[in-house]
Amino acid sequence: MRAFFPSTFHSIKTYCYLITILFTLSCQPSSVNFPAKHYRAVSKRDTAYLQLTKNENHFYGHYTIQYGNSGKDSGEIRGNIKGDTLIGDYFYMPHSGGVKKRTPFALLQDGKTLRLGNGAIVRFLDIPSYSPDVAINYDSVKFVFTEILH
């Protein structure tokens, strides 16, 4: 029995070592680089800036709305891509101060432009999202983004 234990222990140790190496290699960041694109939209005195990175089925980036000369909302966006629609969340610090807020965020890719959608917002467990019963409107929108060089 004594001769069997060191051999079994050595085998288990070797398998654990191999599993650790495979796990470490699988967690390495992908070598594929998804470049960020920059967009701007103007509506009357307000200007919105969007830095957007898309990778396969997800997007993330930074979104800022400058309200004339009076202040700005600025924060992070992230979500999922479904066909030509990007739906996610906008986490931002409002220009009026206070605490960080979360609101639903939707963009429609329309050729070379992105249209910021709006719709009925519902809350579940204090998490806002667009109502599944009401379609998101991409026709009468405040911001239509065009790509800019950065």
DSSP letters, 22-73, are HHHHHTSPPS----EEEEEEEETTEEEEEEEEEETTEEEEEEEEEETTTEEE
Greater model confidence, 106 or 93: 106
Span between the terminal Cα atoms of the chain, in Å = 70
| DSSP summary character for residue 112 | T
Residue 148 pLDDT grade (very low, low, confident, very high; cuts 50, 70, 90): very high
Percent of the chain beyond pLDDT 70?
79
3 state SS of 124? strand
pLDDT at 69: 85
Greater model confidence, 21 or 63: 63
Q: Is the pLDDT of residue 36 over 70?
A: yes
Residue 96 pLDDT grade (very low, low, confident, very high; cuts 50, 70, 90): confident
Mean pLDDT, range 79-93, rounded to an integer: 94
Residue 150 pLDDT grade (very low, low, confident, very high; cuts 50, 70, 90): confident
Q: Is the pLDDT of residue 77 over 70?
A: yes
Q: If we measure between CA atoms, which residue out of 78, 128, 81 comes closest to residue 102? A: 128
| Alpha-carbon span 30 to 65, nearest angstrom | 32
Question: Could you identify the residue written with the tokens 């809350």?
Answer: 123
| Alpha-carbon span 85 to 40, nearest angstrom | 18
C-beta of residue 100 within 8 angstroms of C-beta of residue 93: yes
pLDDT at 117: 94
